[in-house]
Structure 1
Amino acid sequence: MGEIGYPAVCFAAKAVCRALGLRVRIEGDTNIPAAGGAVLAADHVSYLDPFAVLLGADAAGRRVRFLALQTLFEHRIYGPVVRELRQIPIRSGGGGAAFRAAVDALRAGEIVGVFPEATIAQSFTVQQLRTGAARLASAAGVPLIPMAVWGTQRLWTKDRRNIVQPMLPITVLIGEPLRATSEDAPEQLTERLRARMQELLDRAQREYPDAGAGQWWQPVHLGGTAPTAEEAVARDAAENAARAGADS
């Protein structure tokens, strides 16, 4: 898998973190198995979250293949990187093929990364999850590992970008694996996953060294000015409707 490209991307991500003076804290990497397949399921607050997950897995000596929209493979800047890293494309109307490819990768002992919210959560809380991560873990018989990423939204999120912020803290917490039982429906496992992800995110926010009261990047329940969960869902619906109208 990208024998040249993947290490180069990891090296570049670490070099950028050092150059920008980012304070990246990774905890729980021992929860990622040293060998064998696993699904990493992370919250999504920033366009940079895949790199945070990549660094978390790299701390455990593992590589990640993400499920990514086909449009990323065709992008003039991101496309070559995504293709070199052998990410798994999700084509319009072809979700079944992506699911089968991901299950094959998991059974072959690879790590697959998923953002089960399927969009950046503008509320900076864990929103409703899709069941894909749970179904992948169940189908392949591999652990489902919850993650929390926090701080990346301050660099680049929806409608905001300020990459150069020296000494900015970034937190990556990796939780204990969940395993599906024969009695678990995908919806039940997904609810367990969401609870674990929210616990990790709550902890990352609670232990974050920078005060966020009154800040746009802090969720409203912690005194920030981010949209509420309900407002965030409404914004996503409006954006999706506008996009669909533009494509029709």
Structure 2
Amino acid sequence: MSEIVYPPVIKTALGVFKALNIRVRLEGTDQIPRTGGAVLVSNHVSYLDFIFAGLAAYPAGRLVRFMAKKEIFDSRVGGPLMRGMHHIPVDREAGASSYAAALKALKSGEIVGVFAEATISRSFTVKDIKSGAVRMAVAGKVPLIPVAVWGPQRMWTKGRKRRLLQRNVPVAVLVGEPLYPKRGDDYDQVTRDLRAAMSALLEKAQREYPDVPRPGETWWQPAYLGGSAPTPGEAEKLDLQEAEARKAARGSGA
């Protein structure tokens, strides 16, 4: 597979991080296999997560093919980059083709990245996840690798203005031990185990994070640590309201 786009994009991103003094802490990267397929499953706190979660595989010399919503590929700017990096478009109305493309990538030895929560978590905790990632790993006969990302929400997340040029933001990327689901397992239980592993990694990243919010900035801290982010219950209600508003807009042709 030709890699004309992906390596320069990583090099550029690392250069920007250095210029902005964005300190990326990578932990557990030895859990990423040096060869063969794997499903990398990350939490989702920002619009930048695919950049940082992808760095989890960088020390192993691997590239991650992320599954991302089709709308990004339709963008004039983002589309060519996403296709050039061989990421996988997800059309929610034609999910079978996305699944088939991801499975093909896994069987050819690629690492496929998945945000199993589907949308950004407003509470900055791990939302409920479905068993799709587990089923994909079983079908591809590859491991599941839990990952937690923390920090990028300060630069760009749902409901907040972009602050892409913010300096001195620490970012943590923690990789957990792989899970090896197999055919015949209780996929729902494996999914619960995966979510528990992701939650433990995320809580570790949050509790060990070197910065604390300044006055007026507590929105990026989860409620359980004293921040003003919505609780999981409040976040779920907001998500439902947003989904209903989108549905109504589609129905009105807006």
- TM-based fold match above 0.5: yes
1:31 matched to which residue of 2?
A: 31
Structure 2 stretches lacking a partner, 5+ long: none
How far apart are the structure 2 equivalents of 1:132 and 1:92? 13
Alpha-carbon RMSD: 1.3
Letter in 2 for 1:78: G
How far apart are the structure 1 equivalents of 2:201 and 2:237? 25
Give yes or no for contact 2:141–2:182 (8 Å, CA) kept in 1: no
1:135 matched to which residue of 2?
A: 135
1:195 matched to which residue of 2?
A: 196
TM-score, normalised with respect to structure 1: 0.96
How far apart are the structure 2 equivalents of 1:199 and 1:244? 34
Helix, strand or coil for the counterpart of 1:157? coil
Letter in 2 for 1:227: P
Letter in 2 for 1:15: G
How far apart are the structure 1 equivalents of 2:122 and 2:39? 24
Helix, strand or coil for the counterpart of 2:173? strand
How far apart are the structure 2 equivalents of 1:170 and 1:89? 26
Q: Residue by residue, what CA displacement relative to the aligned partner does 1:9-59 show, whole Å, maximum 9, x if unpaired?
A: 111111111111101111111100000000000000000000001211112
Give yes or no for contact 1:65–1:111 (8 Å, CA) kept in 2: yes
Percent identity, please.
51
Does structure 1 residue 217 correspond to structure 2 residue 233? Answer: no
Letter in 1 for 2:55: L
1:243 matched to which residue of 2?
A: 246
Worse overlay, 78-87 or 208-217: 208-217
Give the CA deviation at 1:225: 0.4
Helix, strand or coil for the counterpart of 1:57? helix
Letter in 2 for 1:25: R
How far apart are the structure 2 equivalents of 1:233 and 1:13? 33
Letter in 2 for 1:241: E
1:184 matched to which residue of 2?
A: 185
Letter in 2 for 1:230: G
Letter in 2 for 1:18: K
Helix, strand or coil for the counterpart of 1:216? helix
Give the CA deviation at 1:213: 8.1
Q: Residue by residue, what CA displacement relative to the aligned partner does 1:103-152 show, whole Å, maximum 9, x if unpaired?
A: 11111110000000000000000010121111111111100000000000
The aligned length equals 248
Give yes or no for contact 1:149–1:201 (8 Å, CA) kept in 2: yes
The 3 A distance-change label for structure 1 pair 223 and 199 is: same
2:77 matched to which residue of 1?
A: 77
Moved over 2 A (4+): none
How far apart are the structure 1 equivalents of 2:188 and 2:57? 26
Counterparts of 1:1-248 in structure 2, within 5 Å, are 1-160=1-160, 161-212=162-213, 215-248=218-251
How far apart are the structure 2 equivalents of 1:64 and 1:80? 17
How far apart are the structure 2 equivalents of 1:123 and 1:99? 28
Letter in 2 for 1:222: L
Letter in 2 for 1:234: K
Give yes or no for contact 1:73–1:82 (8 Å, CA) kept in 2: yes
Give the CA deviation at 1:212: 3.8
Letter in 2 for 1:224: G
Letter in 2 for 1:81: L
Helix, strand or coil for the counterpart of 1:129? coil
Give the CA deviation at 1:186: 2.0
Worse overlay, 147-156 or 97-106: 97-106
Letter in 2 for 1:50: F
How far apart are the structure 2 equivalents of 1:111 and 1:51? 14
Give yes or no for contact 1:154–1:162 (8 Å, CA) kept in 2: yes
How far apart are the structure 1 equivalents of 2:226 and 2:247? 34
